[in-house]
Amino acid sequence: MYSGLVGMPVRLINVPFPISRLSRDRCRDVVNGNDPVKGRPIIEELISALTTPLNEGEKRSDIEERTEPRLIGPDTEDNINQLFIDNIWTDFLPIVLPTEKRVEEMLKGTSHDPDEVVGEMRSGYESCTFTVEQVAANAVMAGAKPEYLPVILALAESGVPAITTSTQSFGRMIVVNGPIAKQIGMNSGTGALSPMNRANAVIGRAATLISINLGAGAVPNRTYYGSQGNITDYNHVTFAENEAFLPEGWDPFHVQIGFEADESAVSIFHGYTMWHWKDTFERRKVDALINMAGRPLPSGAYKSGISFLLDPIVANDLVEEGFATKESVRDHIYEQCLISLDEYWQYHLVEGFSRRMAEKGVEPYALWLTQSGDTMINRYRSPDEISILVVGGRTNDFWQAGDWHLIGSFSVDEWG
């Protein structure tokens, strides 16, 4: 399950951007400088934030409830649409206005009470609860059908914001497994990653709108700081795994992580982008996968990982190469994808995260700091950072990969 800062007291201190590329001396200068918003010395604010006792509001163990009115009242369609835009309640694409009648119809997709609290989400500076009805309203806005609602509620319950607050331009990948995918007509075949299927398109979009409206995110320079942004934030990389054409012995992704085959689940991944296979004349496809696995940030960098999206043809080719399970492919890539310590320590995120842990004696980083530069280490911390997913229409022996790592997987069935 995803575990974030939601439900915890958070004291915020503003620092000037960018800071990721600064040397230690410059970082020290920043800390000794002033908060660009409040004008106070940052070091004093840090000390105060860490040492001042919690106030009564910060001691609260409950979760703040939303105070927005349930209804905004009647008006013309143009005026209401403009109201949504002015208040940044949309992704700035046309929406379906969430009238009472439409939300009531959407709620037929779940047996849960409209007033039931689904969870909480922090994509901005605040964390508040939200209800089944509020999720349903965002599902209406996205263009969803009632039968999609259990998947959308599972995404909302996860507490994982589809839009992050990082200065890096992260995105999400959303993968659905189990009977629900077929029941709601999700595309797992030809064009599954393209805007050619209603369920795929609007489920991902609903995740964005929930992040905006129920997580207080996506306001540039206030709750969103991604320098360039990410095109996937519109509706993310959203698809169903092609379970019907998995090779014998290859489990669906949700089964790999502990669900039963007849259960339905949605999995959320964190990363940046996708890139496609390019012929590098390897005799075996697995060797090309290993080459691609050398692209993401290495082990110890922030949230590293890779996901392979294989057409069923490629999956069967890998079986012919001797890989009887997804796990055998994953483990082989992990064992063969190595990096020298000389190269490892050159990555600035490794410098920022792993070296600090090494200097504090955290293993294996402390050991690596004492070893010669030509020492080879695994690029990934464990095989679990490598995900194998099968999707596509068997029209080409093609695959894509992305620097996506799994955040968590969540039950859809409980929201039916």
**Token pair belonging to 7:** 């439900």
| pLDDT of 73 | 87
pLDDT of residue 47: 87
Under 8 Å between Cβ of 270 and 206: no
CB 145 within 8 A of CB 206: no
- List, in order, residues 6 or more apart from 208 with CB less than 8 Å away: 91, 142, 162, 163, 218, 233, 234, 235, 236
The candidate with the shortest Cα–Cα distance to 235, out of 318, 117, 155, is 155
Comparison of pLDDT for 303 and 245, the residue scoring more: 245
What is the 8-class DSSP label of residue 232?
G
pLDDT score, position 123: 61
- Residue 4: pLDDT over 50: no
DSSP 93-146: S------HHHHHHHGGG-SS-TTSEEEEE-SSS--EEEEHHHHHHHHHHHT--G
* H helix or E strand, kind and range, residue 51: helix 42-51
Q: What is the DSSP string of 264-276?
A: -EEEEEEES-EEE
Q: Output 21 or 129, whichever has higher pLDDT.
A: 129
User: pLDDT category, 21, cuts 50, 70, 90?
Assistant: low
Q: What is the pLDDT of residue 74?
A: 86
pLDDT tens-digit readout, 268-320: 999 988 888 766 666 789 999 999 998 888 866 556 799 999 999 999 999 99
Residue 92: count other Cβ atoms within 10 Å of its Cβ. Answer: 10
Q: Which residue type is seen at 67?
A: T
Highest mean pLDDT among 1-5, 20-24, 27-31: 27-31
Is residue 7 very low, low, confident or very high in pLDDT (cuts 50, 70, 90)? very low
Length of the chain: 416
| CB count in 10 Å sphere of residue 200 | 28
Is 310 exposed, middle or buried, given 0-12, 13-18 or 19+ CB atoms closer than 10 A?
Answer: buried
What percentage of the chain has pLDDT greater than the value 90? 59
Token representation of residue 232: 């996937």
Write the CA distances from 338 to 96, 116, 125, 375, integer angstroms. Answer: 49, 49, 39, 10
Give the per-residue pLDDT at 63: 57
What are the structural domain ranges in the chain?
A: 1-62, 63-337+380-415, 341-378
Nearest one of 330, 354, 333 to 344, comparing CA atoms: 354
The mean pLDDT of the chain is: 88
Lowest mean pLDDT across 91-105, 164-178, 197-211, 245-259: 164-178
Separation of alpha carbons 76 and 119, rounded Å: 33
Q: Say what the pTM is.
A: 0.87
* Residue type for position 281: F
The whole-angstrom separation of Cα 225 and Cα 12 is 15
| pLDDT score of 66 | 61
Q: Express as a percent the part of the chain with pLDDT over 70.
A: 90
User: What is the Cα–Cα distance from 376 to 340, expressed in whole angstroms?
Assistant: 4
Q: Which of 49-63, 175-189, 262-276, 372-386 has the lowest mean pLDDT?
A: 49-63
The answer to whether 266 and 207 have CB atoms below 8 angstroms apart is no
pLDDT higher than 60, residue 399: yes
Question: What average pLDDT score do residues 148-159 get?
Answer: 97
Alpha helices in 214-311 (DSSP H): 253-256, 285-292
Compute the distance between CA of residue 30 and CA of residue 22 in angstroms, rounded to an integer. Answer: 10
